[in-house]
Chains A and B, each alone.
Chain A
Amino acid sequence: MTQETVKVNKTKALKPVKKRKSASLDKKKARGGWLFVLPFVIGFVLLYIPMIYDSLLFSFNQIEIVPRQGYTLKPLGWGAYSAALFENTQFVPTLLKGLQGLAFDIPMILIFSLFMAVLLNQKMVGRAAFRAILFVPVILSTGILGGAQFTMTQTDAMGGAIDDGSGTSASEEIVSAIDLQKFFEGMVVGQELVEYVTVAINNIFSIVNRSGVQILIFLAGLQSISPAIYESVQIDGATAWETFWKITFPMITPMILVNAVYTIIDAFTMETNVVMSYINNTKSSIIDASGLAMSWMYFLLVIVIIAAVAGIFSTFVFYQKRN
């Protein structure tokens, strides 16, 4: 017996079995996580960050392309930026106009898409068909078809597209502010609100076309609200109006935040946007530093706006605690 134990001890002393610590499940999972996100991380670090860096670099430099060799950079410093801000008389007003448009569009698109999502979420005859039709713009009105050649004005959409060639076309607007004012005369409604509604109705075509993805996101949000909540509220005797404001609206607030941010990004990167088209039209070529400087300034401004909107909205967002 003793001999044996000695023997065992000896072998142990001679050959210490290095017990490889097997990775814990958490560690294994962490490794798996990195494996999954690897393609994006590689691309982001090796391709995207250099691209952003280059783009910023190009906005501070004049590029000269040397045939067969690449390009050289001639430093300009803040030249392009100060030129756009202080020498260019059009850039700042265009920027302000663009922001004004943004401030008008975003609430309109959000309200419209929420309304449509609530409608399309109800059970009715032909719901699938209406959904299919309303998602058509998501698929079709981007890229080439969102370009100037295919963009419809209100008149086109309302039946003036095939003109008789006589030169007279239908009036530009569906409703005039004067008619609407008469309608609202009795109510205590401000001039601004009347105008807002008029412009919104006249722009209904572009609003419908731009709220496809937002309707999708809202619909997904509405689907995720548990029917049990609605049932219990119904039993307690709530009306549809109360149900909307006390249940649906709070539960959908996270979606409103997502959609607000998405709409800002979408409106800002749209080709037909005032500022985007101004920048595209004024820069002399693709390698013009002033165009880059302008788009970077515009982008930074929009980042600030997104941060502000997200900050304000997130104070109102209601999260249902699931866990």
Chain B
Amino acid sequence: MNAQNIENKPKVRKETKNKIKVDFERSPLKDRLKAKFLSFFFLKKVVWYIFRLVLLVGISYIVLFPYITWIAGSFMGPDDFVDVTVRLIPKDFSLDMYKEIWAQNNYMQAFTNTLIISGMSALIQTFICCFVAYGLAKFKFKGNAIVMLAVVFSLVVPHRTIELSIFMNFRYFDILGIFQFLNGGGINLFGFTINNSFLQAIDIIPDTMKNFSTGGVNLLDSYWPMIILSVTGLAFKNGLYIFMLRQFFKGVPDELEESAYIDGSGIMHTFFTIILPLSIPMMVTVFLFAFSWQWTDQFYTGLFFTNTKTILMDDIVKVPTTLKIDYAGTALYEDAIVKAGGLMIIMPLVVMYLFCQKFLVQGIERSGLTAD
């Protein structure tokens, strides 16, 4: 017994202070490799690995291919569109499309205007949605459920349906008829008019403003409609942001705030110094969504900017006059020009996406969305 034990004991080859090298009795390398690589389990793993890779590469190809064709087409000269041999690599290389769109369609102006609108509304929306979502997630008050229902409702009703009344409300902007009221008219509440003869008698509004404020103030062709919608959390898909952030805040442990309260920190102070720094990945995600959805937006800008003075991103998607030629490939050529315009629109977004991509995944992973 004892002797056997000694025999089976691993042979010590080398012993130093920190390391010990030992010889075990093992099955030969060949058998070990066989057991590892010639098993059904390994085969299954390899097949699954290859299947998964092929599938993911294929789907990535489907996602990226249109952009690749746009990029390829945007570098082609007019001749390439009638050349049968050209598919993706241009023979007649030219940068005309970019140059002309840049110069003639006022790219820089469109870029600045859109940057102001999207940056501003995305920033406001991120903060307002954080506020509302935090209130809904962490405070129990009467009406919490009703407010949440209102948020879902504002997400469900598409703004397309109420397009006209959005337009009318900002064209004749007059919340509760305040301007009309000051002007001596009555307050208009859902069709009922409450008259006020008192203000009519004293007549506080100067005459110059009177003319202007009949039927409300015209807020169109300014940034105000976007700001007002953002500040009240009613802009495009804000309900979704509030929902996402609410789920995120629900996952933040209450103990954090409780300890802050005990240490004498107020509610606002706690929110700004403890909660907001925690939720930066989630806020970046929301900002990215808000920014890029506003950047490519056509609906709101089309609705609120009725004149042609303010050049926005969607105005650059047109064929510059200098590039108009009449030949066999006109349709294809002009299509490629439009798509080059599209590329120039998404270029800033792609740059931003590459920077924020890490935050996006991180934010989503931490959100732990649940439906309760």
Q: List the interface of chain A (C-beta within 8 A of B).
A: 25-26, 28-37, 39-44, 46-48, 50-55, 57-58, 63, 68-71, 116, 119, 122, 124, 128, 130-140, 142-147, 149-150, 152, 156-159, 161-166, 204-205, 208-209, 213, 216-217, 219-221, 223-224, 254-255, 257-258, 262, 265, 268-269, 276, 286-287, 292, 295-296, 298-299, 303, 306, 317, 319
Contact status A221-B59, CB under 8 Å: no
Q: Tell me if B92 is interfacial: C-beta within 8 Å of chain A.
A: no
A218 CB to closest chain B CB (Å) equals 9
Give the contacting residue for A119; candidates B55, B165, B190, B267; CB below 8 A.
B55
Q: A69-B215, A133-B60, A161-B69 are in contact. Are A47 and B368 (CB under 8 A)?
A: no
Residue B30 is within 8 A (CB to CB) of chain A in the complex: no
* Of the residues B147, B166, B365, contact of A37 by C-beta under 8 Å: B147
B369–A124 touching, CB < 8 Å:
no
Cβ-neighbour of A254 out of B128, B165, B216, B370 (below 8 A): B370
Closest residue on chain A to residue B346 by CB atoms: A140
Query: How far apart sit A156 and B72, CA to CA, in the bound complex (Å)?
Result: 13
Chain B, interface residues (CB within 8 Å), range: 35 or more
* Residues of A contacting B172 in the complex (Cβ-Cβ under 8 angstroms): 70-71
Supposing A205-B62, A223-B368 touch, asked if A40 and B150 sit within 8 A by C-beta, the answer is: yes
Query: B residues 162-184 with Cβ under 8 Å of A?
Result: 162-169, 172, 175-176
Residue of chain A at shortest CB distance from B292: A139
User: Is there contact, CB below 8 Å, between A44 and B293?
Assistant: no
Specify which chain A residues have a CB less than 8 angstroms from the CB of B151 in the assembled complex: 40
In the bound complex, residues from chain B placing their C-beta under 8 Å from that of A147 are 298
Given A37-B136, A69-B214, A139-B349, the answer on whether A55 and B161 have CB atoms closer than 8 Å is yes
Evaluate contact between B292 and A52: CB separation under 8 angstroms.
no
* Choice from B139, B164, B176 contacting A287 with Cβ under 8 Å: B164
Which chain B residues lie closer than 8 Å to A254 at the CB level?
370-372
Whether the pair B69, A140 counts as a contact (CB closer than 8 A) is no
When C-beta atoms are compared, the residue in chain B nearest to A151 turns out to be B66
A-B contacts, 12 listed (Cβ < 8 Å): A26-B140, A34-B143, A39-B231, A39-B233, A40-B234, A52-B157, A54-B168, A122-B52, A161-B73, A162-B81, A163-B332, A286-B164
* Chain B, Cβ-Cβ closest to A129: B60
Determine how close the nearest CB of chain A comes to the CB of B272; give it in whole angstroms. Answer: 12
Nearest residue, chain A, Cβ from B367: A220
Interface-facing stretch out of B9-17, B32-40, B337-345: B337-345
- Tell whether, in the assembled complex, residue A295 and residue B52 are in contact, meaning their CB atoms are under 8 Å apart: no
Complex contact A286–B163 (CB within 8 A)? yes
B154/A145 in contact, CB under 8 A:
no
Which B residues fall within an 8 A CB radius of A? 49, 52-53, 55-56, 59-60, 62-66, 69-70, 72-73, 76, 81-84, 86-88, 128, 131-132, 134-136, 138-144, 147, 150-151, 154-158, 160-169, 172, 175-176, 190-191, 214-216, 228-229, 231-234, 240, 242, 261, 267, 271, 288-289, 292-293, 295-299, 313-314, 317, 328-329, 332, 336, 338-339, 342, 345-346, 349-350, 353, 357, 360-361, 364-372
**Within the complex, which residue of B88, B135, B142, B371 is in contact with A162, where a contact is CB–CB below 8 Å?**
B88
Shortest beta-carbon distance from A68 to chain B in Å: 7
Q: What CA separation (Å) do A208 and B58 show in the bound complex? A: 11
User: Which residue of chain B has the shortest Cβ distance to A34 in the bound complex?
Assistant: B141
Assess the A209–B63 pair: CB atoms within 8 A.
yes
Query: Which of B83, B128, B297, B339 makes the CB contact (< 8 A) with A150?
Result: B339
- Asked whether A39 lies within 8 Å of B361 as measured between CB atoms, the reply is no
Docked complex Cα distance between A99 and B305 (Å): 33
Which secondary structure dominates chain B's binding surface?
helix
Q: How far is the CB of B211 from chain A (nearest CB, A)?
A: 8
Knowing A47-B234, A124-B52, A217-B369 are in contact, say whether A37-B132 is a contact too (CB < 8 A): yes
Q: With A39-B231, A70-B216 given, is the CB distance from A142 to B169 under 8 Å? A: no
Q: Is the CB of A144 within 8 A of B215?
A: no
Do B215 and A70 touch across chains, with their CB atoms under 8 A apart? Answer: yes
Closest A residue, CB atoms, query B136:
A37
Evaluate whether A156 and B139 lie within 8 angstroms (CB atoms) in the complex, with A41-B147, A317-B371 already known.
no
Residue of A nearest to B180 (CB): A70
Quote the shortest CB–CB distance from B210 to chain A (angstroms): 12
The answer to whether B233 and A29 touch across the interface, beta carbons within 8 angstroms, is: no
The distance from the CB of A151 to the nearest CB of chain B, in whole angstroms, is 10
B84 & A164 in contact (Cβ 8 Å cutoff): yes
Give min CB distance, A211 to chain B, whole Å: 10
Contacts A36-B134, A54-B165, A219-B365 hold; do A255 and B154 have CB atoms under 8 A apart?
no
CA distance A265 to B132 in the complex (A): 22
A156 to B87, CA, bound (A): 12
> A32 to B142, alpha carbons, bound, how many Å?
12
Chain B residues with CB below 8 A from A221, complex form:
368-370
Residue in contact with B169 in the complex, picked from A25, A54, A159, A292, CB distance below 8 Å: A54
Q: Is the CB of B139 within 8 A of A143?
A: no
CA distance A265 to B288 in the complex (A): 21
Whether B168 contacts A71 by the Cβ 8 Å rule is: yes
A299 in contact with B158 given A136-B353, A219-B364 (CB within 8 Å): yes
| Chain A residues closer than 8 Å to B88, beta-carbon distance | 162
Cα A37 to Cα B249 in complex, Å, equals 14
- Evaluate whether A144 and B313 lie within 8 angstroms (CB atoms) in the complex, with A55-B162, A205-B62, A296-B161 already known: yes
A103 vs chain B, min Cβ distance (A): 19
> Which of chain A's residues have a CB closer than 8 A to the CB of B289?
138-139
Would A144 and B81 be within 8 Å (CB), given that A204-B62, A254-B371 are in contact?
A: no
Please name all residues of chain B whose beta carbon is closer than 8 Å to the beta carbon of A25 when the two chains form the complex. 261
Residue from B60, B72, B139, B162 in contact with A52 in the complex, judged by beta carbons closer than 8 Å: B162
Q: What are the nearest 6 A-B pairs in CB distance?
A: A43-B232, A36-B135, A33-B139, A70-B215, A143-B296, A254-B371
Q: Which residue of B lies closest to A204 (CB)?
A: B62
Contact A265 B156 (CB under 8 A): yes
Do B156 and A30 touch across chains, with their CB atoms under 8 A apart?
A: no
- Given A37-B136, A147-B298, A157-B66, 11 other A-B contacts at CB below 8 A? A30-B142, A39-B232, A54-B165, A55-B162, A134-B63, A140-B346, A142-B292, A159-B87, A220-B368, A262-B240, A265-B156
Which of B66, B144, B160 is A161 in contact with, Cβ under 8 Å? B66
